[in-house]
Amino acid sequence: MSITDYCRRTAAFTREIMQQPATAKKDLRFSDLGFFLRFARPIWSLGVLALVATALVAAAKAVLPLSIKFFIDNILLGETPAPDTLIAGAGGLLSSLNILIAALLVLGFFTGGMDLLRNYWTARFREGYAFNLQTTLVEHVLSFPLSYFKSQQTGYIMSRLSDDVQILQYTVSQYLPQIASNALYVAFTFAILCFLNLRLTLVAVAFIPLYLLVNAVFIRRIRAATHRERERQAYVSRDLQEVISGIDTVKTHAAEDREVHRVSGTLKNMVDARIKNTMLSAFAEYFRVGTMSLMLIAVFWFGGNEVLAGAMTVGDFVAFAIYIVTFAPTVNTFFAFPVVMQPALTSAARLRELFRIPGEAGTGGGGGIVPAAVQGRIEFSGVRFGYTESEPVLSDVNFIARPGEVVAVVGRTGAGKTTLINLILRAFAPQEGTITLDNHDLASLDPRWLRRQISIVSQDLFLFYTTIEENIRYSRPEATFEDVVEAARKAQIHDDIVRFPEGYGTIVGERGTQLSVGQRQRIAIARAFLKDAPILILDEPTSALDMQTEDQIRRTLRLLVRDRTTILVSHRPSLLELADRVLTIEGGRARECRGANTTDTPGTDRTSLFGRSTVS
């Protein structure tokens, strides 16, 4: 590529990043800032202590350069200050070198000690704020309906929960203390500069509008660029999580190169966004540094003329120059604050967006009915549901599952069997019709209470990276060890467990990979036994098992379904023997399969089995 091509690409890149962004719908509103202050309320006293310590340190640092004036004018040149100002009066007290050195030592010890306290209180405040924020955020996200988690990838959600909180935490720990310290230092220094030379101070102040202009030009552009960067970073986390989670599939299909290419494409988009954001910040910093340099040049020119004209002492000018040398970068940092805060404001806006997503009705401690008892009668009446309005998966579904009855649901792949289960769990809400439990509309029930009444044994079971005991107990945390063992015996997994060296304390590995498929399935069944819920959902519980293991689990399931309302999704004929009735999902409708196997099952009344059906 020629030099001309590089120049053209650079010019095009500059025009692109300097384009005025469209109004961002996710910008943080001023009213939202009050929302984030709520997380500081429990620890407000630490914040006040940190702020007071910051003020004292800033004041001590602002006074320190005055010692140069006293050293030159009062000690070296031996001038006698006229006691007409506060600074001149202080100069009279510090006209002795010994006294000045002693005062500097006292000031140094005070500043160092107070700075240690400031760091301690700031750290306590920072960590307390992050803890309150993240705890509340996780609690809120876990209250989202299941449909949210089914529509978002895990890596994307994790990025929203961790990356944005970390950026906001970094802001609270670094930028906010820094801006508070700088603001106080600027205020104290400005007051001292006015005492030293008001005219020269006004010369420095004249450059502040230039800082404001730089901010006005770059703030919205940096905010938009930061939002693009955050979103693309979340996509990278999403893709990486998906690849790692599916590493077995990637390896068996020798798809490493394809996945690297896919992830690299997402990474490239993030890198491009990051470069644009970096260059915008660099442009803003370039103009701020230029403004600071012009300020310093103007102060040296006007101040030098003041000294030459005898209107300003050498000590005053040296002290003023030292103040300006430290004051100008501080002002630069102070006015850069709105720009460098854009990543934090973007993260705060993204977090506020999460907080605006409503949780399920009733998960906040109210708003949902909690019946006193459960009989287990489930009824679908005219239920219609589709993931898109134009393509319904289920349409006009009507059926009743009576207390203690086992209803099998069959149908081709994609017919809507899993959708039907998700509707019972309130992962989604029907677009038409109603689903009731004991004549209570599911939409009116507390969703957490509802799910406590349901046990699930699924083909896609999940085990946590903890012990076998804790995985079984997950369905009923208050259960005793004896209860866990009893559930394992009923699930016919106890003998397998005790053969492990660590027994019930065996770590099952990531998603239970240290166990066989059959063992994992029986642990899921043990969970269901332990939970002892009145409603049971079996979703292809033996689809991945061999015939011998399936026969063992079928005998276990025969015991598990007894006296429970059970919805069984399976194509295995051996499992359909457990059913009182078999429903077929076809064309979005549920109809009774008249040719169903009706082999007697202990404890099941088969009288008038099909004649009492209410299936459409």
* 310 and 438 assigned to the same domain: no
Q: Which of 222-231, 250-259, 490-499 has the highest mean pLDDT?
A: 490-499
Kindly state whether residue 540 falls inside one of the protein's structural domains. yes
Please give the pLDDT value at position 606: 35
Question: What is the rounded average pLDDT of the residues 171-180?
Answer: 70
Question: Which of 146-160, 204-218, 275-289, 549-563 is predicted with the least confidence, judged by mean pLDDT?
Answer: 146-160
Please give the pLDDT value at position 484: 92
With beta carbons less than 8 A apart as the criterion, state whether 570 and 561 touch.
no
Question: What is the rounded average pLDDT of the residues 544-564?
Answer: 78
Question: What is the rounded average pLDDT of the residues 232-253?
Answer: 74
pLDDT of 600 above 70: no
Comparing CA positions, the residue from 297, 301, 293 lying closest to residue 331 is 293
Kindly state whether residue 275 falls inside one of the protein's structural domains. yes
The number of distinct structural domains making up the chain is 3
CATH number at 603 reads: 3.40.50.300
Please give the pLDDT value at position 482: 92
Task: Tell me which of 15 and 497 has the higher pLDDT.
Answer: 497
Q: How confident is the model at residue 51 (pLDDT cuts 50, 70, 90)?
A: confident
* 570 and 488 assigned to the same domain: no
pLDDT of 498 above 80: yes
* 233 and 93 assigned to the same domain: yes
Cβ burial 371-390 (10 Å sphere, 16+ → b, else e): eeebebbbbbbebebbeeee
Task: Tell me which of 607 and 246 has the higher pLDDT.
Answer: 246
Which 3 state secondary structure label does DSSP give 498? helix
What CA dihedral angle connects 243, 249, 252 and 254, to 10 degrees?
-40
| Tens-place pLDDT, residues 100-128 | 788 778 888 888 888 899 888 888 888 88
* 136 and 273 assigned to the same domain: yes
Please give the C-alpha separations between residue 202 and each of 85, 88, 91, 183, 303, in angstroms, as whole numbers: 19, 21, 24, 18, 12
Which 3 state secondary structure label does DSSP give 486? helix
With beta carbons less than 8 A apart as the criterion, state whether 587 and 412 touch.
no
User: Would you say how long the chain is, in residues?
Assistant: 616
Q: Which helix (H) or strand (E) holds 55?
A: helix 44-63
Q: How confident is the model at residue 511 (pLDDT cuts 50, 70, 90)?
A: low
* 475 and 443 assigned to the same domain: no
Please give the pLDDT value at position 610: 31
Half-sphere exposure of 355 (CA within 13 A, CB side): 19
Q: How confident is the model at residue 608 (pLDDT cuts 50, 70, 90)?
A: very low
Please give the pLDDT value at position 86: 45
Q: How confident is the model at residue 437 (pLDDT cuts 50, 70, 90)?
A: very high
pLDDT of 423 above 70: yes
Please give the pLDDT value at position 95: 61
Please give the pLDDT value at position 604: 38
* 583 and 486 assigned to the same domain: no
* 215 and 259 assigned to the same domain: yes
The β-bridge partners of 588 are: none
pLDDT of 539 above 60: yes
Q: Report the C-alpha gap between 133 and 156 in whole angstroms.
A: 19
Question: In which residue are the tokens 């700075």 written?
Answer: 115
* 565 and 539 assigned to the same domain: yes
Scanning 143-207, the segments in alpha helix (DSSP H) are 146-151, 154-170, 176-196, 198-205
Domain boundary among 306, 324, 354: 354
Q: How confident is the model at residue 607 (pLDDT cuts 50, 70, 90)?
A: very low
pLDDT of 12 above 80: no
Task: Tell me which of 123 and 88 has the higher pLDDT.
Answer: 123
Q: Report the C-alpha gap between 453 and 476 in whole angstroms.
A: 12
Please give the pLDDT value at position 485: 92
Please give the pLDDT value at position 535: 92
Question: Which of 311-315, 555-559, 601-605 is predicted with the least confidence, judged by mean pLDDT?
Answer: 601-605
Question: What is the rounded average pLDDT of the residues 303-328?
Answer: 79
Average pLDDT along the chain: 77
Q: How confident is the model at residue 318 (pLDDT cuts 50, 70, 90)?
A: confident
Please give the pLDDT value at position 595: 42
CA 8, 12, 13 angle in degrees (round to 5)? Answer: 115
Question: What is the rounded average pLDDT of the residues 405-420?
Answer: 87
CATH number at 126 reads: 1.20.1560.10
Task: Tell me which of 49 and 174 has the higher pLDDT.
Answer: 49
Q: How confident is the model at residue 174 (pLDDT cuts 50, 70, 90)?
A: low
Question: What is the rounded average pLDDT of the residues 541-561?
Answer: 76
Task: Tell me which of 613 and 219 has the higher pLDDT.
Answer: 219
Kindly state whether residue 14 falls inside one of the protein's structural domains. no
pLDDT of 385 above 50: yes
Please give the pLDDT value at position 514: 76
Per-position DSSP letters for 545-582, written without gaps between them: S-HHHHHHHHHHHHHHTTTSEEEEE---HHHHTT-SEE
**CB-based burial of residue 34 (10 Å sphere; 0-12 exposed, 13-18 middle, 19+ buried)?**
exposed
Question: In which residue are the tokens 């490493």 written?
Answer: 256
pLDDT of 609 above 80: no
Kindly state whether residue 419 falls inside one of the protein's structural domains. yes
Comparing CA positions, the residue from 491, 550, 543, 551 lying closest to residue 522 is 491
Q: Which of 124-133, 223-232, 320-329, 508-517 has the highest mean pLDDT?
A: 124-133
Q: Which amino acid is at 195?
A: F
- Domain extent, residue 395, equals 375-453+533-616
Kindly state whether residue 12 falls inside one of the protein's structural domains. no
pLDDT of 605 above 50: no
pLDDT of 451 above 70: yes
Q: How confident is the model at residue 592 (pLDDT cuts 50, 70, 90)?
A: confident
Query: pTM of the prediction?
Result: 0.60
Question: Which of 149-163, 303-317, 354-368, 463-477 is predicted with the least confidence, judged by mean pLDDT?
Answer: 354-368
Question: Which of 104-118, 177-191, 391-405 is predicted with the least confidence, judged by mean pLDDT?
Answer: 177-191
The number of beta carbons lying within 10 Å of the beta carbon of residue 497 is: 24
Kindly state whether residue 195 falls inside one of the protein's structural domains. yes
In terms of phi and psi (left: phi > 0; alpha: psi -120 to 50; beta: otherwise), the region of 415 is alpha
Q: How confident is the model at residue 611 (pLDDT cuts 50, 70, 90)?
A: very low
* 106 and 147 assigned to the same domain: yes
* 291 and 199 assigned to the same domain: yes
Kindly state whether residue 38 falls inside one of the protein's structural domains. yes
Kindly state whether residue 432 falls inside one of the protein's structural domains. yes
Domain boundary among 492, 519, 546: 519
* 484 and 513 assigned to the same domain: yes
Task: Tell me which of 64 and 28 has the higher pLDDT.
Answer: 64
* 52 and 125 assigned to the same domain: yes
Comparing CA positions, the residue from 91, 111, 58, 64 lying closest to residue 323 is 64
